[in-house]
Amino acid sequence: MTQNTELNAQQQLYKAIGFMMISTTAFTVMNAIVKLLDNFPTFEIVFFRSVGTFFICLILLWKIGIPILGNQRKLLLLRAFGGAISMYGFFVSIKLIPFGTAITFRYLAPIFAAILALWWLKEKIKPIQWLFFLLSFAGVMLIKGFDMRVNFAGLAYALFAALGTGLVFVVIRKIGSRDHPLVIVIYFMFTTMIMGAAFSFFDWKQPVGWEWGILLSMGLFGFFGQYFMTKALQNVPTNSIAPFKYTEAIFAIAVGWIWFDETYTWIGIIGIILVIMGMVLNVTVKK
């Protein structure tokens, strides 16, 4: 019985990792679009990123006959709040600092998630994991100290986004499988859609031509990213799967180099490696 339970847990973990890889790929494309459209106001980008995903979720929920309000409304609203502050902080940071660096900083989220899970979900953190978290923070400080393109405002917004994402990880884990992933996502999208519409009312840049298609495509990529991230986080311990979002940092560095002609010094690359290494070691020890 114990062997079967362990095998099932391992299969769940591998499935969750696959879902997270799909999620990070979709989010990388979406975030590159945000960077490409950095001449648009941030709240307008938040609105367009949310509206497409919201209507996709609405249609799918209607087709499969699942009530839109869900079962755990307080937790669903808390997840939406965490996602909203994370999205806004991250979109601002993309405008202020290099693309790959912004994503690397944001994905300190597993550290915040681990601390919140320790307090709320009673998930244990081994002493050596704190050393690995410190290793990742050292990488951040190395990047900040030797890359003059990284200003304090950009770093602050990225860390603010990481805190919001960490909260999202833990709340989704708390929700578990008692609410459908589409319900979790639609709460988030409705919140950010209303927030984006309200705050961009007096600061709106009219899209022209191809910009409409690019803006609306964020909703499609965002839907896949959000849906598969939610599925990945629902049924495995937060500490085990959350660090795999760090692969997005690798994807983002490649995209930043190819699309936006961003380059990094050796010290900056070492800093990014330290951040990712800290999270990979954390996952290994947790497993």
Q: Report the candidate in 189, 257, 253, 171 with the shortest Cα–Cα distance to residue 225.
A: 189
Q: Which of 196-205, 239-248, 254-263 has the highest mean pLDDT?
A: 196-205
DSSP secondary structure string, 12-45? HHHHHHHHHHHHHHHHHHHHHHHHHTTTS-HHHH
How far is 84 from 40, CA to CA, in rounded Å? 18
Q: Is the pLDDT of residue 218 over 60?
A: yes
Please report the pLDDT score of residue 256 as a whole number.
83
pLDDT at residue 19, rounded to an integer: 87
CB 110 within 8 A of CB 245: yes
C-alpha to C-alpha distance for 149 and 273, rounded to whole angstroms: 18
Instruction: Report, as an integer, the average pLDDT of 267-279.
Output: 83
What pLDDT was estimated at residue 235?
Answer: 65
Residue found by looking up tokens 């979406």 in the block: 30
CA 99 to CA 180: how far, in whole Å?
A: 32
Which range, of 27-36, 56-65, 118-127, 158-167, averages the lowest pLDDT? 118-127
Q: What is the pLDDT of residue 194?
A: 94
- What is the pTM (predicted TM-score) of this model? 0.79
- Percent of the chain having pLDDT more than 70? 91
Tokens read off for 37: 């459209």
When pLDDT is averaged across residues 11-37 and rounded to a whole number, the result is 85
* pLDDT computed for residue 41 by the predictor: 92
pLDDT tens, 127-151?
A: 888 888 888 888 888 887 777 888 8
pLDDT at position 89 over 60: yes
Instruction: Kindly list the distances between the CA atom of residue 12 and the CA atoms of 6, 15, 245, in Å, as whole numbers in the listed order.
Output: 10, 5, 17
